[in-house]
Amino acid sequence: MISNNFIWYSKIFITLLALFYIMMIAPYFRLLKAVTFEIYVLILSTLLASLVLVGVNDFLMFYLAFELQSYSMYLLAASKKDSLQSLEAGLKYFIQGSVCSGFLLLGISFVYGILGTLNFSELRCSYNA
């Protein structure tokens, strides 16, 4: 993990956006009279993954944070249980994410095979050399 002023400001901005989003959806769920505890847990899980994703310095941590964020987003897309469109959107998003995750892992394995490292700082140094 790396940390500098830009990363801290980005994390603050992402947190404010998440709080704004929670304030925006609260009246909608009150109108539906739906149980929203799991929705808020998924939003906080996405927020955690986004905060980790901003400060990573390694492909493995990048992949893990990206997948944590993706799984939360899949469930949020399919969160409206009585809607077939919502379930279809979640399933399509999951299939697309699985294919993209495979390509991402393939690319990461190529980078590791060629350069022998997964650290972004070392990749930058080996690219400049």
- pTM value? 0.81
CA 71, distance to chain mean position in Å, is 8
Q: Which of 6-10, 26-30, 85-89, 123-127 has the lowest mean pLDDT?
A: 123-127
Find the farthest-apart pair of alpha carbons in the chain and give their distance in angstroms, rounded.
60
Residue-wise pLDDT tens digits, 88-121: 998 999 999 999 999 999 999 998 998 888 888 8
Query: DSSP assignment of 11-40, as one string?
Result: HHHHHHHHHHHHHHHHHHHHHHT---HHHH
Residue-wise pLDDT tens digits, 58-91: 899 999 999 999 988 888 888 877 888 988 998 9
Q: Is the pLDDT of residue 126 over 70?
A: no
Residue-wise pLDDT tens digits, 31-57: 877 667 888 888 899 999 999 999 998
The ranges assigned to domains in the chain are 5-128
